[in-house]
Chain A
Amino acid sequence: MKKSTIAIYNFSVVAIALLIALLMGAVLFLIAGGNPILAYHVMFTEPLKGAFGISEMLVRAAPLMLVAVGVAISFRSGILNIGGEGQILIGAVAGAFIALSFPNVPKYLLIPMVFITAFAGGALWGGLAGWLKAYLGVNEILSTVMLNYIATQIYTYLLRAPLIDPQELAYGTGIAQTAQISQNAWLARLIPGMRLHTGLIYASLIAVAAYLMLWKTTLGYRMRACGAEPLAARYAGMNVRRYLVLAMLLAGGMAGLAGGVELCGVHRRALEALSAGYGFSGIVVALFGGLHPLGIIPASALFGLLIVGADMMQRAPDVTIPAHIILAIQGLIILAVVSCRIFLTHRGIRERILGYFSRHKED
């Protein structure tokens, strides 16, 4: 069988999965009392109609991409990171602390400092789960989800007390957010008047770097070996536990960077709900991108579109469907993509389907 045939096949399977998810979503729209055709129309075309929509879509793509690349790295190494939410928050608040503490450090130093701290914060949070799994056998799904709760509480506490914006106290409004960070830590905006910022470029570069790391370096080779067959990896002299921890450090660090991107690129302060569900959506993006960093780049753009589209759909006058329904659609997409993996990985099924088509071509 030709490689190109297989590639076309894989692509069609994923496209059909997406289609099925959207069809099931249409049922939800109907239940919510909306017109699914109209809703989807708004969702998929409205954002692409102008620079604003595209900019917003790509603003969402940047953190999604970072989280998803981390998920792909962890997954390839045999551990699944569900803790993106918590890692984003810890990364963001760590970055905010640095940015607020050193407002006068010049830009070219402060931005790297903030991002290194954000990475370290997320890495700490992820690495903890990795360590628990590697050395104490704690299931990473449980530990990362639990660590999400802890992170949220710590984050809220920090924003409400020690790091709260002094002005909030002064005016007595008491919104839980930090003061605006110094201009020296802001990421440059790419288009005047739009929120699209350089974070997207950094995220794409990191995705490419992750690809090179996983497939071109000995480190990536080891990580993939440990993930694919720990017994054989150990046999070949690899310290499987160490690579589990490393994978989670990297995955957490990537999510931490996503927090940093939101902090310096979008909000310019740490505020509640900064993670915006990216930690979970990132998992969907990773699966949708085939757990491959280069597949994740377009996948995150698509999901950025979904999120912004849902937002616009809610605001469109004649649609009347809440944007939160996008969460349900995301769930459906996860189900569809995960279920269609059997078609991608099971050679027998693939042959049967392709055989069926080639027979019909001959007829």
Chain B
Amino acid sequence: MAEKIELLEMKSITKRFPGVLACDSVDLELRSGEVLALLGENGAGKSTLMNILYGLYKQDSGQIFINGCEVTVGSPLDAFKLGIGMVHQHFMLVPNLTVTENVALGLCHDRTFSLDLEKVRYRVMDVSRKHGLAVNPDAQIWQLSVGEQQRVELVKALALGANLLIMDEPTAALTPQEADELLDLLREMARSECSVIFISHKLNEVRRVSDRVTVLRSGKMVYTGPTQELSDSELADRMAGRELRDFSRRVYKPLDENIALSVVDVHAKGDMGFNALNGVSFDVHKGEIFGIAGVSGNGQRELAETINGLRRVQSGNILLDYWNITNQTPLQIIERGMGYIPENRIHEGTIPSFSVRENLILKEYDTPRLSHKGFLNREKTRRFASDLVFNFDIKTPDIETPCASLSGGNIQKVILAREIERSPKVLIAVYPIRGLDLGATENIHKELLKITESGTAVLLISEELDELLSFCDRIAVIYEGRIMKTLWARDTNKQELGLLMAGILTPEPAQKEFEEERA
């Protein structure tokens, strides 16, 4: 095991990418037993700085000291030897291997030839039991939801015995309960003299867990100090350099009588062959924002995929603008006016090796707007992409940069820009603000509100109860592939939703209402 990290110092770290200065002479300091929150807008350089510490990137200049001695972290293997572990913003697991095998991949550095999977499996179960992180050691990664994969990453880092843990937006994909547990876990680790660097865009989490914060803006360190010293709005100011408001509020208005999306008693199977959707029904009206609340893994992903023709409907019907789209091809459904922001933004929502321009035209390339007789019009695609980059404030050196080299939040903006720009009749948005900073969240919400004005219905699948409550007209709670109940957002509250999400129906009156609705 590595020597304990009493003091970590990064001194005037500078890192330049083609066209961007990602870190500009950044200093960072961390003592054992401390939780440091690293804050900053999308593209501020947080992940880059951490990747340097973890040996994935090499800084152009600057040094790293551990306990006063200069160290070179040339690779993640070096980091592992120094006792540095990292949970990445985008999971780095091998899809075709099991959880145990993925953990073993990290372990097999020192014992190249003997690999005792049984032991590793035991270690995984041990860690997951000790920290209350439910993972099935024998599940293959591709079968897991994003939230579950994030958990596996965590178990992996813990099983490898890191004593400095870097967490790059670990809570972005977790349910509120899971996030709570994780934060407790981090606090507990800090008590046992580990140190943690924690990246998040959620200030309440930062406040709960961290002792100190360091704020980056456009690659420069603009603030570092104790967390309590600044209020939320002061922190937000530091990050953005401007004032920010809370979640946009939905103004109440009666529902339009036209139904944009109607889901009728839909049954569908999950990846593992079990029933993931057991008779889901709801209507989304024109111009409505309809929320689906639920703990991830209760059928949300399957619901979104079935509506978009990416998963077979076993029985039941789906109508888009009164048109039956049940089991039609994805293309037919897109052409009928469906928009979709998928959960898996790296591999499903974008093509990482394609440029930002090529990603932005992914759904429009075959229309007269961008092509003519099968030939893409370069000039038009450029203008199209530049406009979107400008309107949605996507931070990229230019439109020909591969999407893979954008920061996490900016990749998300590419997808959002593409889908919102089409003003579809119905937009299925799965965790749309995951990983976005406050400014970008506000911006996206504004855009969503704008398209509902013009009649688009939005199906918002989210775990952020605050977002759902302030932003939706109605909210349906999904539990084990069934809609528990549909509520008006203005008539409900977090407690009620929380109970429903746990599968608990409040006694008599509500029960009756639920029965009526199902009948």
Chain A positions within 8 Å of B, measured between CB atoms, are: 1, 216-219, 221, 224-225, 228-229, 231-239, 347-348, 351-352, 355
Contacts and interface: CB of A to CB of B under 8 A. Distances in A.
Interface string B340-366: 101010011111111000100011011
Contacts of B7: none
B318 to A, nearest CB: 16
A225 B405 contact: no
Nearest to A347: B405
Contact of A218 (B18, B57, B363, B375): B375
Contacts of B405: 347
A217 B376 contact: yes
Contact of B18 (A1, A221, A224): A1
B297 interface: no
B374 A231 contact: no
B310 interface: yes
A233 B354 CA distance: 12
Contacts of B308: 235
29 contacts: A1-B18, A216-B375, A217-B375, A217-B376, A218-B375, A221-B358, A225-B354, A225-B362, A228-B353, A229-B352, A232-B347, A232-B348, A232-B349, A232-B350, A235-B310, A235-B342, A236-B334, A237-B331, A237-B332, A237-B333, A237-B334, A237-B335, A239-B329, A347-B405, A348-B56, A348-B57, A348-B58, A351-B58, A355-B60
A348 B366 CA distance: 35
Contacts of B362: 225, 232, 236
Contacts of A351: 58
B348 A231 contact: yes
Interface in B355-411: 358, 362-363, 365-366, 371, 374-376, 378, 405
B351 A225 contact: yes
Contacts of A352: 58
Contacts of A216: 375-376, 378
A5 B142 CA distance: 39
B351 A234 contact: no
Given A237-B334, A348-B57, A355-B60, A232 B376 contact: no
B340 A218 contact: no
B176 interface: no
Given A228-B354, A233-B351, 8 more contacts: A217-B374, A217-B375, A218-B366, A229-B350, A229-B353, A232-B349, A232-B362, A235-B330
Closest 9 A/B residue pairs (Cβ): A237-B331, A229-B351, A1-B18, A237-B330, A237-B334, A236-B362, A231-B348, A232-B351, A228-B351
A235 B56 contact: no
A229 B347 contact: yes
Interface in B274-321: 308, 310
Contacts of A234: 310, 330
A94 B350 CA distance: 43
A141 to B, nearest CB: 18
A74 B58 CA distance: 35
A218 B344 CA distance: 25
A217 B377 CA distance: 9
Nearest to B359: A232
A238 B371 CA distance: 17
Contacts of A348: 56-58
Contacts of A217: 374-376
A317 to B, nearest CB: 51
